[in-house]
Structure 1
């Protein structure tokens, strides 16, 4: 059951990077079911085709663009496809991300650069490609998917912490620069979300620890892990006219896991290993 009116996004177009699975697909589904024309962008043509078939079976107007967000030419083609099919880009969701477990002291420059190029530079490329059109129409929304409070630390994921902190810097900077054009820029920080992409990212480089999010549930004040639909619902709100006076914010959709907790209230005792420290928040936007 939806909490939003059925045609909330009627006549609007939404581009979602990393939209073929997980949180990205959940957002595409909800935007589409509420009237939007949706463009899914991803590196995998097979995944895009499968996702588009599922969406079209639900009655969603959906197009796909094989696109590596690190490649400016491919990003430009995805934007042109959107304009050709829907006439405008009303909402851009920067969701494409890469992540994998790696101790900071052994992380290679190549590993660091890979995640930063996709998460941070990819966000720049996609936004830079759509914003001239949004400025021309004097309206638009950019939504960036980040991680819960990367400034608190993201042990064993230093590349993602750096990249997402950079995306938050872009979020607030762009909000201040482009507000005069009627463009709003916000971010969502999903909590621990056991999507396929997040689970695989947690496992890469760590064969001794099977990927599992269950141990994180006990740290969530609301008592459960996040679902992709939780982020999708928040996205529908932040990109709608109901949030017309909201820009430059990072909305934590994490069940309260990012709330500051006095050390005396933590259930861990002393000497907790860094890989299970309360500041660790698994990736949820891959």
Structure 2
């Protein structure tokens, strides 16, 4: 794990990371725990969450709490909020990482396929944030980080449902930043570029463990000449949620090795 940020940077923070059982969500949770935050990870699989929590403890020496939650279900989201407040009495950081995705040509996309992704990505982000932001407002501030895709407004061929959802999340990010700035609640978005995670290669591209095939063409389009790592994204996310970014809100930061300008 990259130690790029100052030890104790997030000491005193209580963080919730949805979709925290694997990939970028797990990476952000690992780094936040290592930086001193109390962390709760949520997801739909108790087994995967338990494995992730064990990984965090093994790598950081810090215990991480888990909570089974489908972000589309309001009663489960309310339970997540109650769980965090019971544990820590507060929440200062929320990372909206829970997402669903799969490739499907737009002309064959069913309404069920479209709404499945939009409900998890966009509606889920709205529901979790709405549940937790009132506590941030009442305590005088906090940070919300939404995981999106770089330059969602350019479109996402093959993934129109996900592109639409992520573009909507970017709009929410900007709206919330303007609405809640007066309460010192900062809201930003993070757009990871090509990062070889299990979720992308197996679930999104359907290529199993064939990471090389999934990303072979991407490297040629990245000015920095390499694929990203989970650590690259996690460090940027921790910065945006930290007091070091106290005057940053409403931005969508691409972490993609310069791919967005290539």
Report the equivalent of 1:6.
7
Q: Please state how far the C-alpha of 1:117 moved relative to its aligned partner.
A: 0.2
- 1:211: Cα distance to partner? 5.8
Which ranges of structure 2 fall in alignment gaps of 5 or more residues? Answer: none
- 1: CA distance, partners of 2:70 / 2:232: 26
Residue 138 of structure 1: how far off its partner (Å):
1.1
**Whole-angstrom distance in 1 between the partners of 2:8 and 2:155:** 40
Partner of 1:224: 226
Q: Equivalent residue for 1:48?
A: 49
Residue in 1 that maps onto 2:250: 248
Question: Separation in 1 of the partners of 2:132 and 2:11?
Answer: 20
> How many equivalent pairs are there?
258
Among 158, 171, 185, the residue aligned to 1:156: 158
1:69-108 equivalence runs, <5 A:
69-108=71-110
SS at match of 2:214: coil
Deviation at 1:203, TM superposition (A): 2.8
Counterpart-to-counterpart distance in 2, 1:4 and 1:203: 32
State the distance in 2 between where 1:205 and 1:55 align: 27
Secondary structure of the residue aligned to 2:100 is coil
Q: 1:16 is matched with which residue? A: 17
Alpha-carbon distance in 1 for matches of 2:232, 2:223: 15
CA distance in 2, matches of 1:254, 1:128: 29
Larger Rg: 1
SS at match of 2:67: strand
In structure 2, how many angstroms separate the alpha carbons of the residues matched to 1:6 and 1:88? 22
The aligned counterpart of 2:33 is 32
How far did residue 201 of structure 1 move? Answer: 2.9
Q: Secondary structure, in 3 states, of the residue corresponding to 2:259? A: coil
- Runs of 4 or more, structure 1, over 4 Å off, are none
Q: CA deviation at 1:54?
A: 1.5
Q: Indicate the SS of the match to 2:102.
A: coil
User: For 2:94 and 2:239, how far apart are their aligned partners in 1?
Assistant: 14
- Summarize the Cα distance change of 1:205–1:229 in structure 2 as closer, same or farther, 3 Å threshold: closer
TM-score (norm. length: structure 2): 0.95
Preserved CA contact (<8 Å) 1:101 1:201:
no
Contact between 1:234 and 1:253, CA under 8 Å: does it hold in 2?
yes
Q: Which has the higher helix share?
A: 2
Contact persistence 1:14–1:89 (CA under 8 A):
yes
- Out of 215, 225, 232, which is 2:217 matched to? 215
Root mean square deviation of aligned Cα: 1.6
Q: Distance in 1 between matches of 2:44 and 2:259?
A: 31
TM-score, normalising length: structure 1: 0.87
Contact 1:146 1:188 in 2 (8 A): yes
Asked if structure 1 preserves the Cα contact closer than 8 Å seen for 2:33 and 2:39, the reply is: yes
Cα deviation 1:198-256 (Å, max 9, x = unaligned): 112333499xxx96112211111111111111110001111111110000000000001
